[in-house]
Amino acid sequence: MTENHPLPRPERRPRRLRRTEVIRSLVRETILPPQKLVLPLFLIDGENIAQPIDAMPGRCRLSIDKAIDECAEAMKLGVGAFALFPAIDPALKTPRAEHGLDESNLLCRAVKALREALPDACLITDIALDPYSSLGHDGLVSAEGEILNDETVDILAQMAVLHGQVGADIVAPSDMMDGRVGGIRAALDQAGQEKVAILSYTAKYASSFYGPFREALDSAPVDAPNVPKDKKTYQMDPANVREARIEMVLDEMEAADIIMVKPALPYLDVISQLREHSDLPIAAYHVSGEYAMIKAAAERGWLDERACMTESLTAIARAGADIIFTYAALDYARWFREDLA
């Protein structure tokens, strides 16, 4: 442009509100405190054990005493909710997953011990058969290789009642069987466990991001005749979003208290869709593969772990998640405290 025809100057300048950190903090739309996080814990039998998980740097399989220590540390940092996943001795696994209904099993003993040691902790237990199944599936497998829906729901309901009796605050069916939320709610109420809440894995996708988790628990489907090689007949197709809304409506009708999307980052659009159509609290699971990718890249110096992990968790909250399950909960809580200092 010539001097006689200068470029027009904008009247609206969004950069005014980006000029300093204090101003940016004032107008920040999404703030994620540690109180919104859930720390998943992998449990193992024994004492004084913290067994590193190769595919999940910084995370370990913990004996119950070590799990109590880690939960106590987390609570001091503001993280008060814990999702418990037992790594079961293979000798205790059977095709019908009977050990899942044994009150002396690892998960039940852990809930009792944590409840006694940390009465204010929120304990969330996984409701599915795969930790206890010698076939590695979330449901019963027929002789013909079909995942049996209604028969599985009957067992899941018994498992939920058991977990409520030993002290779980929230049971979290992760199996994706049809009708399991209603079956679990009815069983809990009939057993006098009305106070136990249900966090349903509403939209759990047949994702490729679960690999490190399955290594941690040795819970992948086994390679055997008439055993499905994957979980695609019950977990959701990654290409679908409308189907997630159908699952949401069903879970609401069956009295779920919280709904979940898993994984989180590849499904931010699903979180947003459910947020738009539901008034229930929404949880999202920042899964093992999402966590491990950042950890691995940071170890190689390719990414800034703190910045990328914080950005990822903030994005999940921005999409509409009220609660985030993440293996980075302790790290994030420490960073959050440092930022406040």
What is the token pair recorded at 195? 């106070």
Tens digits of pLDDT across the chain (341 residues): 556 677 888 889 999 999 999 999 999 999 999 999 999 999 999 999 999 999 999 999 999 999 999 999 999 999 999 999 999 999 999 999 999 999 999 999 999 999 999 999 999 999 999 999 999 999 999 999 999 999 999 999 999 999 999 999 999 999 999 999 999 999 999 999 999 999 999 999 999 999 888 888 888 899 999 999 999 999 999 999 999 999 999 999 999 999 999 999 999 999 999 999 999 999 999 999 999 999 999 999 999 999 999 999 999 999 999 999 999 999 999 999 998 87
CB atoms within 10 A of CB 222: 13
Residue 116 to residue 114: CA distance in whole angstroms: 5
What is the token pair recorded at 247? 């699952």
CB atoms within 10 A of CB 269: 12
Query: Residue 320: which of 285, 269, 254 has the closest Cα?
Result: 269
Polymer length in residues for the chain: 341
Residue 317 to residue 328: CA distance in whole angstroms: 14
Beta bridge partners of 200: 259
End-to-end CA distance of the chain: 50
Residue carrying the six token digits 């406040």: 340
Q: Does domain 32-340 have CATH number 3.40.190.10?
A: no
Contact (Cβ atoms closer than 8 angstroms) between residue 214 and residue 206: no
Beta bridge partners of 325: 38, 285
pLDDT for 98: 97
> What is the CA angle 245-249-252, rounded to 5?
135
Query: Residue 174: which of 327, 329, 325 has the closest Cα?
Result: 325
What is the token pair recorded at 323? 């609660």
Sequence-ordered alpha helix ranges (H) in the chain: 21-26, 64-76, 106-117, 149-166, 180-190, 211-217, 242-253, 268-277, 288-299, 305-319, 329-340
Q: DSSP states of 126-190 as a string?
A: EE-STTTBTT--SSEE-TTS-EEHHHHHHHHHHHHHHHHHHT-SEEEE-S--TTHHHHHHHHHHH
Residue carrying the six token digits 């009465």: 119
Contact (Cβ atoms closer than 8 angstroms) between residue 147 and residue 233: yes
CA distances (Å), origin 305, targets 23, 71, 190, 266: 25, 23, 47, 19
CB atoms within 10 A of CB 25: 10
Amino acid at 230: D
Q: Residue 94 in 3-state DSSP?
A: strand
In whole angstroms, how large is the CA radius of gyration of the chain? 22
Model's pTM, two decimal places?
A: 0.95
CA distances (Å), origin 326, targets 63, 87, 187, 321: 20, 18, 29, 12
Amino acid at 16: R
Chain centroid to Cα 243, Å, comes to: 20
User: What residues act catalytically?
Assistant: 204, 262
